[in-house]
Structure 1
Amino acid sequence: MYCDKPIIILPEKISVLRDVKNQSIYTDFEQYSIYYKNIIYPYSEEYDVQIECEFGKNLGNCWRLEEFNDIADTFLLTLKIYGYYGKLLTEKSCRVQIFEKKEYPTVNLLCIGDSMTMAETYIAHTVNKLKNINTIGLRNISHNVNHEGRGGWTCSAYFEKYTDDGWGISPFLFPEGFDGKEYYGDKKFYEYMLNSNTD
């Protein structure tokens, strides 16, 4: 839907993981894309989206960064939206920061969310790319990563669901009078987990 005042949804800073520098055999590849339909509201094919950036390419439907040779560690990305007759409707800038892959000490990662988290795709990608990640949580499907993803759950559910309506209760709420270290969660949920195919 065409709009004279579209909104650009961009954070102040974007972090990008680059490929390994100076590879003798090119086995590691990274690509980062910002699709305009995901950051412009409302989005319209009639917009002329222009990018002002020293690096990356404007591919028409997205800005893409996949060449990291001679790239700066940090640089500015400005997105401008033009309407009919070249009228500038809005613009927004953010800073892009490039990070190298390095060996870091093992860290714990707890992912909380809805079905997107429960599907484990993004968690597995993170573990594969960053290495030395120990995922924690009581749920998993693939037996490769652990998490606390629950289909259909909103952020507020994790703060409010203290009674079981058939979908379990939040593992982060403790009954009054219980120390968190002494509370092991909802009995019905654990019985379900023990009798299901999910570890």
Structure 2
Amino acid sequence: MNKDIKIILPPKLYICSSRENQTIQTDREEFNIFFANIIQPYSEDFDVFVNCEYGENLGHCWHIDQLPDSGTVFPLEIRLYDAYGVCLAEKKTMVETVAKQRNGEAFRVLAVGDSMTRSAKYLAHLATKLYGIEFVGSRSFDKTIYHEGRGGWSFENYFHGTRENGDVTSPFLFPRDVSGKDYFGDLGYHRDIADALHDPYQFDGFKVEHPKDGQIVTDKNEAFRFEHGKMTQLEKNVSWEFSFSKYVERQGLKDLNAVTILMGANDLQICPYEESDKRIAKFMDNMERFVQSVREYSAALPIVINLPVLGAEQHAWGKQMGCRGTQKMYRFNILRANQRLIKVYGNRENEFIFLSPMFLNLDPDYGFPKEGYRVNKYASDVVEYQSNWVHPNDNGYCQMGDALGGVLEKIRGLSSTKGG
């Protein structure tokens, strides 16, 4: 393993510029690159030098809130020095400020992900931050923000999640030789959705549906045709396929402008160092498989790969996970995965593939929820620690949304970015 110190930055970074002509400044923008998030391994002993015409080096981050006009492109270089003035690493990225659109057609975005997307908090932030953004999908808790977010899911659930393998089913899995519009879904899964006593974490947010005449339904691994209220068996052992095209057809999505993917937290969460290479390779294979399925649907639909965020401090990991994982192990795996994502997808905007570096902008100190804990059972002193091992607080979700917002506005400014 290469043990060199690394600075992990994407080749390009898009930041929304502040609104022009405001009589009252209510829509101020800012962006941060937190040094602890991008340097692997990180040490407080490093001297981090930022070479940039704009923004401020605040010691723990590069911060900008006085943004140049939209369309401004400028280089940002980070150099890392030790106590003897020796340069240990350096990295450059190009930053572009992009305007927030004020009018025009609705911009339809499908967000796919794990519990961070399930919460819909970074999506809700963008729905108020950006004009005309419409989030689509099969799941919604408020009938306004829709998405494909599943708590606790990894890519494996999306590619192999059938009723035969568990209680929930992937929205992208279909029986082979059955079209998206002709497939209803799994009977047991839809019964659980309709059951008022269902597990709310797994089944809330989905509408109750009933099969129509002629539709194909499955019951675990068997396939039936529904006609006049009766089921006629067609196949005892369904052959499944992952299909983004069939998903779009089944959901009746039209004029889709972008699909965003936020995965990694569950794929790499409990991942020992000894398994890191293998697990990251599998994660990358799955990401490419998802990308290729989107490409089978459309060669021009913009795909945004969100670079996943780092976790909270070890105290939160211990409280939530016992001894099953550590902050440093998680950080090691996520940063290595982000490095691979940047290498593979970082210069492919000509293929309508974009990176959203959410991990840069999430405040490692104030972006996670906190609680007060007694130091031990004898002492009454209370110490405040972060209390959730991977999920940000509302402020952190807003910072994640800011990173994605810049990319979406960049895409919206391009022509011919509809996928069908």
- Structures share a fold, TM > 0.5? yes
Q: Deviations over 1:35-82 (max 9, x none)?
A: 111111111111111100000111111111100256871100101111
How many residues of Structure 1 are paired with residues of Structure 2 in the alignment?
A: 197
Give the match's secondary structure for 1:51. Answer: strand
Residue 38 of structure 1 corresponds to 37
Give the match's secondary structure for 1:135. Answer: strand
User: RMSD across aligned C-alpha pairs, in angstroms?
Assistant: 2.1
Preserved CA contact (<8 Å) 2:32 2:62: yes
1:64 has 2:63 as partner: yes
Residue 140 of structure 1 corresponds to 140
The structure-2 alpha-carbon separation of the partners of 1:69 and 1:78, relative to structure 1 and needing over 3 Å to count, comes to: closer
The 1-side partners of 2:38 and 2:29 are apart by 21
Higher helix share: 2
CA-CA distance at 1:164 after TM superposition:
4.1
1:99 has 2:98 as partner: yes
The structure-2 alpha-carbon separation of the partners of 1:154 and 1:104, relative to structure 1 and needing over 3 Å to count, comes to: farther
Preserved CA contact (<8 Å) 1:168 1:186: no
The structure-2 alpha-carbon separation of the partners of 1:77 and 1:161, relative to structure 1 and needing over 3 Å to count, comes to: same
| 1:10-49 matched pairs, under 5 angstroms | 10-49=9-48
Preserved CA contact (<8 Å) 1:118 1:150: yes
CA-CA distance at 1:171 after TM superposition:
0.6
Give the match's secondary structure for 2:173. Answer: coil
Give the match's secondary structure for 1:81. Answer: strand
The 1-side partners of 2:70 and 2:143 are apart by 38
Spell out structure 1 runs of 4+ moving beyond 6 A.
none
Give the match's secondary structure for 2:190. Answer: helix
Give the match's secondary structure for 2:25. Answer: coil
The 1-side partners of 2:167 and 2:11 are apart by 37
| 1:1-199 matched pairs, under 5 angstroms | 5-69=4-68, 73-102=72-101, 103-196=103-196, 198-199=204-205
The 1-side partners of 2:149 and 2:58 are apart by 34
The 1-side partners of 2:184 and 2:143 are apart by 22
CA-CA distance at 1:9 after TM superposition:
1.2
The 2-side partners of 1:151 and 1:49 are apart by 37
CA-CA distance at 1:137 after TM superposition:
1.5
The structure-2 alpha-carbon separation of the partners of 1:80 and 1:34, relative to structure 1 and needing over 3 Å to count, comes to: same
The 1-side partners of 2:192 and 2:164 are apart by 12
| Range that drifts further, 163-172 or 77-86 | 163-172
Which consecutive residues of structure 2, in runs of 5 or more, have no partner in the other structure?
206-420
TM-score of the superposition, structure 2-length normalised? 0.44
CA-CA distance at 1:141 after TM superposition:
2.7
The 2-side partners of 1:46 and 1:78 are apart by 19
